[in-house]
Amino acid sequence: MTPVTSPPHGHAAAAGANGAPGADGLDPEAVSAFQAAFDTAVAADERIEPRDWMPDAYRSTLVRQIAQHAHSEIIGMQPEANWIARAPSLRRKAILMAKVQDEAGHGLYLYGAAETLGTSREELLDKLHAGRQKYSSIFNYPTLTWADVGAIGWLVDGAAITNQVPLCRCSYGPYARAMVRICKEESFHQRQGYELLLALTRGTEAQRAMAQDAVDRWWWPSLMMFGPPDDESAHSAQSMAWKIKRHSNDELRQRFVDICVPQAEALGLTLPDPDLRWNEERGHWDFGAIDWREFREVLKGNGPCNEQRLEQRRRAHENGAWVREAAAAHAAKQSARASQDGASRTARSEP
Ligand code: BYC
């Protein structure tokens, strides 16, 4: 539990979890005391917990980011699941199935984190299905060959880890804790992708060419995962001040490029950027211009697979309705049975 100091805790305990300022008639003086305590806690790198007071905008920024993140995890299952039935060996099939299941688990941890902010999973899924909330641009690209599974693991999961490791230090406790477990699993995913590509590059000429083609197609979209350039990033400044984000989009993108260049060399693959050059002065790799027009088009819904991904997601949700109904009926039965047992125990223990 975060020691945000007594006013927020005192207030939250009285108002219940997720008690919002203003909504419960707090006077402005109390709000400014809570705000000051919140600011002090963030400045001291303490965690904000669900029952602590927090500004409305902090809460809604977290819901926006966590929801987008959760949606990315579950939509992200689709491009790889496409290859489960066609994996070239039982070993590869088992690994890929485990990975795709992990992504579903990540989605659940993240919807759980969003629930602690007072937003239900149902509500977030409705928004996703209605196209009112985003998911990562990267999952609107097709997986054309088996090598794409390797490129996704190496580059997409690699980019995800680069972005998500700092989120383990996010100021909001439930999100930060979910990220610890997610990052451990993502790092396994990244290694399986790298190992898959390594096997292909050590294989036949056709396999090596397939690996190169996959990296050619996934490299630039992976760089776009980090979001728009800093000077166009609407939310970065505020999110960094709140310590939700710890680094800017461009800083993380550069970190990712610096990690990938030597790894590509070790794989014997070329990154599709003629402008990649080591910059001695900066101590970083310079890289070419990103096509931000393409990024904006994908965000507007005009990527190669946007329609297909959302359609498949809606269909999966509808097809799963009976599972949700059965689970709810089972839970109701269990709780009725538990309260019946409780009542008969009380009756037996009465003199
Ligand atoms: N795709 O002000 P900005 C994974 C939106 S990994 C789509 O910089 P922020 C996985 C942004 O939402 C992928 N939209 O925003 C890996 C905002 O729009 P709204 C998921 C994007 O939030 C392997 C607008 O552009 N990872 O799940 O400060 C297998 C302005 O951007 C993108 C996460 O979600 C994009 N690439 O920074 C399976 C990590 N980039 O909301 C699954 C957590 C930006 O104003 N999220 N936008 O309409 C973050 O770290 C941050 O939200 C971002 C963006 C760095 C992505």
Write down the pLDDT at residue 345.
77
Mean pLDDT of 15-44: 76
Beta strands in 33-183 (DSSP E): none
Distance CA 108, CA 95 (A): 20
Centre of ligand 1 from the C-alpha of residue 225, in Å: 7
Distance CA 48, CA 169 (A): 11
Integer angstrom CA distances of residue 234 from 30, 48, 165, 228, 239: 30, 23, 22, 9, 10
Write down the pLDDT at residue 351.
59
Contacts of 293 (CB under 8 A, 6+ apart): none
pTM for the full predicted model:
0.91
Strand (E) or helix (H) holding 279? strand 277-279
Write down the pLDDT at residue 134.
96
- 159-193 per-position pLDDT tens digit: 999 999 999 999 999 999 999 999 999 999 999 99
pLDDT at 24 over 70: no
Distance CA 21, CA 8 (A): 10
Query: Which amino acid, 4?
Result: V
- 258-305 per-position pLDDT tens digit: 999 999 999 999 999 999 999 999 999 999 999 999 999 999 999 999
Write down the pLDDT at residue 350.
64
Query: Given the CA of residue 160, which atom of ligand 1 is nearest to it?
Result: 6
- 114-129 per-position pLDDT tens digit: 999 999 999 999 999 9
Q: Assign 20 a pLDDT band (cuts: 50, 70, 90).
A: very low
Q: Assign 16 a pLDDT band (cuts: 50, 70, 90).
A: very low
pLDDT at 33 over 70: yes
Strand (E) or helix (H) holding 148? helix 147-151
Concatenate the DSSP letters of all residues of 9-76 into one string. Answer: HHHHHHH-TTPPTTTT---HHHHHHHHHHHHHHHHTTPPB-TTS---HHHHHHHHHHHHHHHHHHHHT
Which has the closest alpha carbon to 110: 129, 131, 88, 125?
125
- 81-98 per-position pLDDT tens digit: 999 999 999 999 999 999
Distance CA 283, CA 294 (A): 29
pLDDT at 44 over 50: yes
* Ligand 1, CB within 6 Å, residue ranges: 64-65, 68-69, 72-73, 76, 103, 134, 136-137, 156-157, 160, 163-164, 224-228, 233-236, 239, 245, 249, 299
Which has the closest alpha carbon to 174: 108, 230, 260?
108
Question: Which residue puts its alpha carbon closest to atom 41 of ligand 1?
Answer: 64
Question: Which residue puts its alpha carbon closest to atom 26 of ligand 1?
Answer: 69
DSSP 3-state of 4? coil
Using alpha carbons only, give the angle 94, 96, 97 rounded to the nearest 5 degrees. Answer: 65
Write down the pLDDT at residue 346.
75
pLDDT at 7 over 60: no
**pLDDT, mean over the chain:** 92
pLDDT at 8 over 50: no
